[in-house]
Amino acid sequence: MLDIKLLRSQPEQVQARLNSRGKSHDISKLVELEQEIRVLETQRSHLQAESNDIGKQVGFKMKSGAPNDEIQVLKARSHEVKQLLASLEPQEKALREESHLILMTLPNLPSETTPIGKDEKENVEVRRWGDEYKTTRTDILPHWDIGEKLGLLNFERAVKISQARFVTLIGAGAALERALIQFMLNIHTANGYIEVAPPLLVNTDSMTGTGQLPKFADDLFKCADDDLWLIPTAEVPVTNLYRDEILDGESLPIHHCAYTPCFRREAGSYGRDTRGLIRLHQFNKVELVKFVLPEKSSEEHEQLVRDAESILQALKLPYRVVKLCTGDIGFGAAKCYDLEVWLPAANAYREISSCSNFHDFQARRANIRFKSKGKKGTEFLHTINGSGLAVGRTMTAILENYQQPDGRILIPEVLQPLMNKQYL
């Protein structure tokens, strides 16, 4: 959620930064509402001051034995002022609710270090890693073909059980996914992330706090009879661990990691990646979430990116890091890096992790603050998160990059002890 004080004081700058996202986010109605609210606030303040003053005058006149008619005039005015105050309250409440509803639909302001651009074509490549591990073979089978051929993946039976865009992992396929999850968690906890096993069903307040609601309701799965939603990412429950709390500034930063299944309708991606593991309704992911001091935000974000990269490097999977432009960053992100892994069958890089710095956007929505030692007030902290990694997409990369001429899959060396074998 945007800082309403910033919007009030610098509406032109806010509008310009929102416009850089390349979509229409007109804040004129919001500015108008805030002006009306300020007028009512001023009226209420003056009336309350007058009411307090009248109360003092009445008390003084009664003690001094002033004529009763003078006292009655003051009391009549006091009654009139209280009625005016009472009439302002519902007006102000209605305006604030309307303002809040608009505010909750506005995306975050892009960081000044986020490149200006219209869409993904204007994203900026930052670096590449692992070109020496790219295969020169031209006969690499797509992961869904080799996976079904080896009996690791079964899409047909998953459709029978559920519907399209689900998969069943069988035998060594299930074992590979389990090994990847364990490996990722081992690395991240060794790097200081505290593991969390959160609920997979969360309430509306939690979805609103991280920015999935109200805007992205169509992309989510909701329980019809309860105020519960299936999580689209562990970012939601882990971030909301501290919703409506004031943390001790000395306790920051807090670093968490979590493995969870994730559930997405993918309503906005109809027809894309209909085959394979890239875009499923249910998938597994290891998420990294940070709660940090604002002044440490940028360096903590860069480190989270490196932590996600470390998994790809350990697995020796070629990838590149891309800085997203203003027209491609997510709703709540101020700045975002995508890690894109190399898929030889597609001869292309595909996203395997998005690492976003939200600044205080989520903290304002979820009301997560901190208090520094020696300071009177509280401040909103910054939240940062990213996949560390999407497990299905990591499996995809392994099935293609580690494909052998004889049709087997060489298991990455770091996973072999977890699987007690060398090949799939």
DSSP-assigned letters across all residues of 149-217: HTTSEEHHHHHHHS-SS--EE-THHHHHHHHHHHHHHHHHHHTTPEE----SEE-HHHHHHHT-TTTTG
Q: Whole-angstrom Cα distance, residue 232 to residue 265?
A: 9
66-83 pLDDT per residue, tens: 888 888 888 899 999 999
- Residue 274 confidence (pLDDT): 72
Active site residue: 354, 365, 387, 400, which one? Answer: 354
**Is 272 marked active-site?**
no
315-366 pLDDT per residue, tens: 999 999 999 999 999 999 999 999 999 999 999 999 999 999 999 999 999 9
Of residues 216, 337, 305, the one with CA closest to residue 265: 216
Q: Where in the chain is the domain with CATH 3.30.930.10?
A: 120-419
Give the residues across from 353 on adjacent strands: 339
Tokens of 239: 């971030």
Mean pLDDT on 306-316 = 98
Burial of 33 (0-12, 13-18, 19+ CB in 10 A): buried
Which amino acid is present at 58? V
94-120 pLDDT per residue, tens: 999 999 999 999 999 999 999 999 999
- Return contacts of 270-273, CB within 8 angstroms, 24+ apart: none
- Residue 68 confidence (pLDDT): 86
Q: Whole-angstrom Cα distance, residue 387 to residue 377?
A: 33
Give the residues across from 320 on adjacent strands: 128, 340
3-state secondary structure of 135: coil
Is the pLDDT score of 270 beyond 60?
no
44-62 pLDDT per residue, tens: 999 999 999 998 998 888 8
Q: Whole-angstrom Cα distance, residue 321 to residue 337?
A: 7
Of residues 224, 185, 219, 213, the one with CA closest to residue 366: 213
Mean pLDDT score of the chain: 95
Active site residue: 80, 122, 302, 351, which one? Answer: 351
- Residue 268 confidence (pLDDT): 56
- Residue 269 confidence (pLDDT): 57
Residue the block writes with tokens 């809040």: 100
**Is 96 marked active-site?**
no
**Is 269 marked active-site?**
no
What percentage of the chain exceeds 70 in pLDDT?
98
**Is 354 marked active-site?**
yes
- Residue 94 confidence (pLDDT): 95
Q: Where in the chain is the domain with CATH 1.10.287.40?
A: 4-103
Q: Whole-angstrom Cα distance, residue 356 to residue 342?
A: 21
Of residues 260, 295, 314, the one with CA closest to residue 370: 295
Is the pLDDT score of 272 beyond 70?
no
CATH number of 4-103: 1.10.287.40
- Residue 65 confidence (pLDDT): 85
Active site residue: 17, 21, 165, 264, which one? Answer: 264
**Is 279 marked active-site?**
yes
Tokens of 294: 């604002």
- Residue 271 confidence (pLDDT): 60
Instruction: Quote the DSSP letter at residue 28.
Output: H
User: How many CB atoms are located within 10 Å of the residue 348 CB?
Assistant: 10
Q: Whole-angstrom Cα distance, residue 7 to residue 420?
A: 58
Is the pLDDT score of 267 beyond 70?
no
Active site residue: 279, 320, 350, 408, which one? Answer: 279
Model-level pTM?
A: 0.92
**Pair 290, 385: CB distance under 8 Å:** yes
Tokens of 199: 């609920």
Mean pLDDT on 226-243 = 98
3-state secondary structure of 27: coil
133-183 pLDDT per residue, tens: 999 999 999 999 999 999 999 999 999 999 999 999 999 999 999 999 999
Is the pLDDT score of 23 beyond 90?
no
For the segment(s) 120-419, the CATH number from 3.20.190.10, 3.40.190.10, 3.30.930.10, 3.40.50.1450 is: 3.30.930.10
Mean pLDDT on 392-418 = 97
Contact partners, residue 155, CB within 8 Å, separation at least 6: 144, 148, 166, 167, 168
Q: Whole-angstrom Cα distance, residue 424 to residue 422?
A: 7
